[in-house]
Amino acid sequence: MSEPITEKKEAGPPEPAPEPTSADNADTPAAETPAEKKREYKDFGHGDEEKNTHAKVDMSQIELKAEDLYDKEKVDLETLVMEDVFKLLQCGEDGLDPAEAARRLELFGPNKLEHEEQNPFLQFLSFMWNPLSWVMEAAALVAIALSNGGGMPPDWEDFVGIVLLLLVNSSIGFYEERGAGNAVKALMDSLAPKARVKRSGAWSEIESADLVPGDMVAFKIGDIVPADVRLTEAINVSIDQAALTGESLPQSKKVGDQCFSGSTCKQGEAEGVVISTGPNTFFGRAAKLVGQDDDTTGHLQKILAQIGSFCLVSIGLFVVLEIVILYPKYHYSYRRGLNDILVLLIGGIPIAMPTVLSVTLAVGAQQLAKHKAIVTRITAIEELAGVTILCSDKTGTLTTNKLTIDSNLVKTYGPFSAADVMLLAAYASRTENQDAIDACVVGAIPDPAKAREGIKLLDFKPFNPVDKRTEITYREESTGKLKRVTKGMTGIIVEHCTRNKTEEIENRLEADVEEFAARGLRALAVAYEELDGQDPAAEGNGFELIGLLAIFDPPRADTKQTIDDAIALGVKVKMVTGDQLAIAKETGRRLGLGDHMYPAKVLKDGPPVGGKHMSLDEMILDADGFAGVFPEHKYEIVKRLQGLGHLCAMTGDGANDAPALSRANVGIAVEGATDAARGAADIVLTEPGLSTIVHAIRGSRVIFQRMRNYSIYACSVTIRIVVCFAILAFAYQFDFPPFMILIIALLNDGTIMTLSVDRVLPSMTPDAWDLAEIFAFAVAYGIWLTLSTIALFMVLWHTEFFENHFHVDGYHDDVNNNHIHMILYLQVAIISQALIFVTRSHGFFFMERPSIALMVAFGIAQLISSIIAAYANWYFTDVEAISGGWIGIVWVWNIMWYIPLDYIKFAMKATVVKWLRERRERRIVDDRGEPLQRTQSRAASIHESLYSNRVSFIRRAVRTVGFGQGRTVRMSQNELQRFSSLQAQHAGATLARNPSRV
C-alpha cells in the first residue's frame, strides 16, 4: 500500500544540483527541436526539491513499535506526506481538544528548554575541591585539631593564616565564574513566548511552553516559529533560519515544508502542525549539546592537578620519612614531630598558586578587553595560548552576512554595459521594505538614490514564490518613453525573453550560470523591454536578456589578513559552515584558506573508498573546511579534533554554533552574535571582524609565559622547602617554626602577584604545558637552593668563620637557637623570591628587564623580610632578632649562591631539557614519519580525576541535599550523533505507547 521511499538527502542546506551534461541533452525526445527544448538553468540554491514520501509501515496500524519510529528509513516526520503526519500524530486540522492537549503536555513536557540553576553555596565550595586545596585544608586541620598536645595549645596562628589564603583563593574563582553567561538560558529566551494555536476548531493565544506535538499553530511576518512545524498552509512565506542553519538567505517555504523552532518569519503567513517541541526540536538539540559533556574540567585545572600531584608526591614522601625517622630514631614528642610535618605541609605546597594564576588571568582578561575581547570563562585565556586549530563559521563570521553583487563578474548579452545592467536591475528592486536580494542590488550601484532617479514608477510587482521574479514598469523622464525591467531566476526570466532568445545566447547563458554555480555564486538574470504608447498595462515589444549578476556573501575586509596572521602564529584555520559546498569553496579561495572542503555527509559516511584518507579523523585533520553542516556536525568536528590531541577554538555567531562553541576548548562569539552564541562562548568579541582574535592569541601567549614562569618558581620552592628542612631535621634535629614558613609564603606570593603584569614576549607557536621540563627545572633549582641553605647552616654551626671574619655573635649552644631560626628564615626568604628573575628569563636574568611592579614588589618584600629579621622578637614562634652584621652576611651569601643559577639553567637546556624535547618529538611522529602535534586536551587523564570535575561534584551534592529538583529530558549520545532529527519522531513513538483514551 505504501509508495517506495526515495533516498533521503543529508540534513542541511541543499547541495547544488548537478551540472547538465551531454548525456542529459542526449535524452531529449527526438520530436523536440533544439529551439523548442526547455533548458533547466541550475540557479545555485534552486536545485531539485525533495519530495515528500510515505512511511514504510502500515499506517492503519497506529501502534508502531519504538524501533520502527526511530528507523529513519521507515518514518521521518520531516518528509512524510502530510496525511501520514496527521495519522502518526493522531490529530486533525481542527487541532486537539483541550483534554488531549493536557494529556500530551504531561507526556512530552513543556515546550521549553529545562535549565538547572547551580546552588551558589555549593558552587563556592567546589573551588575547594582540588589537590592544592586539599593540602591547605590538611595543614589547617593539623594546626587546629592535631596540634593540641604536649602541654601546648592549638596552633591558631597557622590555622588562621591558612584559612584566609584558602578563602581568598576560592572567592576569586567563585567571583570570576559566577559572572559568566549561561548559554541554555539564552537559548530559552530565544523561543517565542506566545503562540497562536487552534484547539477544538477555535483559535486562541497561549504560552508557547504549552504547545504539544499535534497542535495546529499559525504565525505571520515578524513572528518567531514556536516549535518544529510542518506547514499545512503557506502564503508567500519566507523564513530566516540563518541563526540555526547558517544559510545566508531567508528560505521560501511552501505547504509540506518544515519550519524550525526559533526561526523568524520574514514574509507572509502560515499554518502548520507541530511535530516536535522543547528539547526534541532542532533548536532544542542545539541547546542540549551545549555543555552536554559531564567532563567540563578546564585545561588549566588539569595542569594544576598535575602540578598538585607533583607537590603531593614530594611532600608525602618526606612526611613519611619524617614519621619513620624522627619518632623511632630521635624519639620526638608528638607535638614536636607534628610541627616539623606542618613545616613541610605549609611550605611544600604552593598554597597560593590558584590565587596567583587567577589574578594573572584576571589581569589578562582586562588587557584583552582593551582589544574588544570580553572573557566570560577566565581559564580560556590559558587554553587560547595553546590552540592549534581554529574552526570558524562562515556566515557572519568570515563573511559579512550581507549579500553583494560582484561587479567584476557581471555578464552582458545585449547593448547595455555592466553598469547599465546593474542600474536597470536596481530599477527592478524595491527601495523600501526590501528583501535581501533587492537590498544587495540597490546597494551595488554607486548611489542608491539613482534606483529611482530620472524615472517615474508606474507599476511594480514584488518577488513571490510563484513568479520568482520582480518587475517594474516606469516612464523615463528624459524621453517620456515607457519601459519595463524584470529580474529573477534565470530559467523564469529566459522564458519571458523573446527578442534575443537564440541558441547562441542560451548556450552562453547556460555556461555562465554553471560557472557561477560551480563557484558558489547565485545567478540573477535581468531583462528589458520597451512599451509603445502610454499604457503601463500594455504588452511591450518583448523582453530582451541583457545581463546576469553574480550574488555572493563577501568576506569581511580584515578576514584574509586575520587568517594569514593566525597561520603565521601556528594556528590552522578550518571553515565549518551550514552553507553549500560550492559557496564554501569560493569563500575559501577568496580568503586564501584553500578549497579542500567536504560536504557534511562525509562525517556520517566516512572517507571514500580508495581515497587518500584512511580514516575520518585523518580527513578532518587534512580538510580546509566542511559545508552543509548542522549543529551536530560542528560539535562532532570539534570533538574529533580534540580527540586527536589538538586544542581547538571555534568562532561563530548563531544558535547553530552554540554546541560547538561550548564543546571547543575556546569558544569565540563574534560581534553581533546571538545571545545563545555569546552565552556558550568563552570569549565574546565586541567589534566587527576577526582581527581581535589575533590580538587575543598573542595576549594569551604572554599570559601563558607568565604562568609558566610562576609554575617553575612554585615547584622549585616546594623542592627547596621540603628537601631542605627534612634533611636538616634528619641530620641535626633542626625544628624550623611553621609560622615563619607561612610568613615566607605570604611575602613570596604577594611579590609573585605582580607577575600578572610582567614584561614577557609571546611565542610564535602554540604554547603547551611541558610538565617534564617544568619539573626538571624545578628539581635543579630546588636542589641548588637547598644546598645554599644547608651549607650556610653547616658553616654557622660547625665553624666560627662568620664570627672571626665579620665579628658577629656566634650561636653554638643549641641547634634550635631562636637566632639561628631567624638567620635561616632570612636566607630562605631572600633567595627564594629572587629565583623568579631566573625562571622568567631565557638568557641571563639581568638581560631581560622585568616590569616595574615586580621590581618594586620584590624590593618591598625584601625590606619587610630584613625588618622582621632585625626587630621581630616573636617568642610564640621561636625566633629572635639578629644583628645588622648577620643580615649583611645573609645578603652576601645569597648573592654568591644566586649567580650560578643562570648557568644551571643553561646546563639544563643543553642536557636534560634537550633530551626531553628530542624524546617528545620521537613520540609524536606517526607511522608515516610525519610529525603530528599532540597537546593535552579534554581527553581523560589520571590527573584530572583528582580534580574530579567540580561540576560533577556540585551535581552529586545537589542530588544529596535535594537542591534544584526539576523535570529534565534526557537522550542518549548515540541518538544525538545520527546527524538528523531523530528526536522529531519521539512524538509519534510516545503517542503510540500512550494512545488516547477518547
pLDDT of 789 reads: 94
pLDDT of 672 reads: 72
pLDDT of 759 reads: 83
> 74: Cβ–Cβ under 8 A, 6 or more apart, which residues?
55, 56, 57, 68
Q: How does residue 556 score in pLDDT terms, banded at 50, 70 and 90? A: confident
Q: How does residue 825 score in pLDDT terms, banded at 50, 70 and 90? A: very high
Residue 931 β-bridge partners: 925
For residue 899, pLDDT beyond 90: yes
For residues 687-703, average pLDDT: 81
Residue 216 β-bridge partners: 198, 273
Among 736, 793, 866, which Cα is nearest to 346's? 736
Residue 568, φ and ψ in degrees, nearest 5: -65, -25
For residues 8-29, average pLDDT: 35
- The residues that are catalytic are 393
C-alpha cell at 658: 552554540
Higher pLDDT, 212 or 124: 212
Residue 233 β-bridge partners: 271
| d(C-alpha 989, C-alpha 743), whole Å | 67
For residues 682-701, average pLDDT: 80
In order of start, what are the domains of the chain with their CATH numbers? 123-180+300-363+698-918 (1.20.1110.10), 373-400+556-686 (3.40.50.1000), 404-552 (3.40.1110.10)
Half-sphere exposure of 387 (CA within 13 A, CB side): 34
Range of weakest confidence among 238-252, 377-391, 792-806:
238-252
Range of weakest confidence among 64-68, 88-92, 500-504, 814-818:
64-68
Percent of residues, the chain, with pLDDT higher than 90: 15
pLDDT tens sequence across 975-990 = 322 322 343 345 555 5
| d(C-alpha 682, C-alpha 667), whole Å | 5
Alpha helical stretches, state H, 623-690: 631-643, 658-663, 675-680
Q: Is 840 helix (H, G, I), strand (E, B) or coil?
A: coil
DSSP code at position 37: -
pLDDT of 73 reads: 53
For residues 373-377, average pLDDT: 77
Please name the amino acid found at residue 908. Answer: M
pLDDT of 864 reads: 93
Range of weakest confidence among 29-43, 382-396, 746-760:
29-43
Q: Is 277 helix (H, G, I), strand (E, B) or coil?
A: coil
Q: Mean pLDDT for the chain?
A: 76
pLDDT of 795 reads: 93
| d(C-alpha 155, C-alpha 158), whole Å | 6
| d(C-alpha 336, C-alpha 346), whole Å | 16
What CA–CA distances, in Å, run from 425 to 440, 514, 541? Answer: 11, 21, 19
For residues 449-475, average pLDDT: 85
pLDDT of 311 reads: 82
DSSP code at position 394: I
pLDDT tens sequence across 380-409 = 888 888 899 998 878 777 887 778 888 888
C-alpha cell at 599: 560536504
| DSSP-derived pairing of the beta strands 389-392 and 572-576 | parallel
Please name the amino acid found at residue 97. Answer: D
Higher pLDDT, 314 or 35: 314
- What DSSP assignment string belongs to 355-410? HHHHHHHHHHHHHHHTTTEEESSTTHHHHHHT--EEEE-IIIIIB-SS-EE-GGG-
- Asked if 285 contacts 981 with a C-beta cutoff of 8 angstroms, the reply is yes
Count Cβ atoms below 10 Å from residue 49 Cβ, excluding itself.
10
For residue 754, pLDDT beyond 60: yes
For residues 251-261, average pLDDT: 84
Sheet with 683-685, side-by-side order of all strands:
373-375, 683-685, 666-669, 648-652, 389-392, 572-576, 625-627, 597-599
pLDDT of 993 reads: 60
Residue 907, φ and ψ in degrees, nearest 5: -65, -40
pLDDT of 906 reads: 93
**Residue 531 belongs to what H/E stretch?**
strand 522-531
Whole-model pTM over 0.75: no
The beta-strand segments (E) located in 628-747 are 648-652, 666-669, 683-685
pLDDT of 496 reads: 86
